Amino acid sequence: MDLHYEIYGAGDETIVLLHGGGTDMRTWQFILPRLAANYRVIAFDGRGAGQSPAPVEPANYVEDVKMVLDHFGLEKAILVGHSIGGQIAVDFDLTYPERVSKLVLIACSVTGFQNAPDIEERFQRVLAAAPDVEKMTEFSLDLPSYDVVKASPHHLELMTEMIRHNIQRWFDWKSGESVWPQPPAIERLDRLAAPTLFMIGTLDRPDLFPLAEQFGQLPNARLVWIDGTDHMPMFTHPDEVSHTILQFLEE
């Protein structure tokens, strides 16, 4: 197993944490101790992020999660995914439903979801700024869905450092392509096998809200809104996020 990982806590059940794009396992630093008080927790840096090696061919993030579970001999795990990490978790459940006991999704999209035009334009602005890492970092944070994070100097410093580091890592990638299961998950959400918790902040990207409501209508899922937070509720509202996750897992 070539991905960088860290293990915390102990328990009969294991949580595997999947971070979002442009970030790494530091995403979880404020809620990890709370989760590890009751569970064994595995946090890892996705391929090309943090301290994990860069992709040398189109990345298959779903198979990377399977590799993590296989490496630790886990027949099943609780998957907690943020942003694209949630997208990966959804596709993993649809591909390997027998390997997921519960699913926690935080501010995520899914494959087949179309970003709002203004969001897509901002993403393209980041790419167009290459190879200026500082500009790319600045533009990455120039989203209303990071306003709550940016209001805290400490959180802003942590986010800036994490995004800067991972943007620098992008230039090591041999391939920027990725492979995803087909058909897209958005066409198959009713087939999700695991009990699912979908959490999203009331100040996150509005284009994610209809998707959140779609999850909330699934018979095996629950939608929880985190009031007053943006795309990074793990940073700004760690107590509420941790409590909601643990309450869901203990049911």
Query: Is 22 inside any structural domain?
Result: yes
Q: Give me the CATH number covering residue 193.
A: 3.40.50.1820
Across 85-90, average pLDDT: 98
How do residues 181-236 score in pLDDT, each as one tens digit? Answer: 999 999 999 999 999 999 999 999 999 999 999 999 999 999 999 999 999 999 99
Indicate the pairing of strand 77-82 with strand 196-201.
unpaired
Query: Is 165 inside any structural domain?
Result: no
Determine the structural domain holding residue 225 and report its residue range: 5-116+176-250
Positive or negative torsion for Cα 17, 21, 24, 28: negative
Contact 144, 202 (CB under 8 A): no
Q: How far is CA 166 from CA 16, 44, 125, 189, in A?
A: 21, 14, 17, 30
Round to the nearest angstrom and report the end-to-end CA distance of the chain. Answer: 33
Nearest to 244 by CA among 224, 229, 227, 230: 224
- Whole-prediction pTM value? 0.96
How do residues 92-149 score in pLDDT, each as one tens digit? Answer: 999 999 999 999 999 999 999 999 999 999 999 999 999 999 999 999 999 889 999 9
CA 202 – CA 169 distance, rounded (Å):
31
Beta bridge partners of 231: none
Number of structural domains found in the chain: 1
